[in-house]
Amino acid sequence: MDWILARGPAWLTFFGFFAAAFSAGATGGLFKPGAWYRTLSKPAWTPPNWLFPVAWTILYVAMSVAVWWVSLSGSPWALPAVALWSWQIVMNALWSPVFFGLRRLDAAFGVMIGLWVSVVSTTAAFFVVDPFAGWLMAPYVVWVSYAGALNLSIWRRNGGAPEAGAAPA
C-alpha cells in the first residue's frame, strides 16, 4: 500500500473517477421517481425507496475504487478495462432520464440490457487486470441484474409505457 501513498497525483485520478461515477448518479436526482412511479404496479420484491440511494452510493464508491485500482495497475489491459468502465458509466447515466424522465419503461429496459452487458464486460476485464478490482465490481453486477429484472417486471405489469403521450412531470 505504500506505493499508493507515494503517488500523490494518483489521488487526483481517484477523484476524477469518483466525480464521473457520481455525475452519472446525479441523473437519478434530476429525474426523480415522483408520484408517477408510486402509481405504477410493482412486484412484491421491489425494495423500499430509501434503499436505492444507499445501494447506489455504496456501488459508486466501490466502482470508483475499482477503476482507480485498475488505472494504477500498469497492466496492458488497464486501458481497455477503463474504456469499458467509461462506457458503463454512460449507460448508467442514461437509464434514469429514460425511465423516470421519458417514462419509457420499454426503452429503459433496452438501456438496462446495454448497462448489464457493459457492467459484466467491465467486471470481467477488471478480473483480468486485478481480481481485487473485479470483486469490487461484483456487487454491481448483482444489483444491475436485480434492477433489470425489476425494470422488466414493472414494464410488463404496466403495459409498456404508461401515460404514453402525456408530458412528464
pLDDT score of 151? 96
Residue 50 domain boundaries? 9-157
In a domain, 4, yes or no: no
The secondary element (H helix, E strand) that includes residue 55 is helix 51-71
Set of cell numbers at residue 41: 404496479
Number of domains making up the chain: 1
Set of cell numbers at residue 45: 420484491
CA separation for the pair 97, 115 (Å, rounded) = 14
Q: What is the mean pLDDT of each successive set of 10 residues along the chain, which is 169 residues long?
A: 48 69 74 85 93 91 93 91 94 93 94 97 97 97 97 90 47
pLDDT score of 34? 79
In a domain, 1, yes or no: no
Contacting residues for 117 by C-beta, under 8 A, at least 6 apart: none
In a domain, 87, yes or no: yes
Q: Does pTM surpass 0.75?
A: yes
In a domain, 96, yes or no: yes
Contacting residues for 124 by C-beta, under 8 A, at least 6 apart: 134
CATH number of domain containing 147: 1.20.1260.100
Concatenated DSSP letters for 23-43?
Answer: HHHHHHHHS--HHHHHHS---
Instruction: Please tell me what DSSP assigns to residue 46.
Output: P
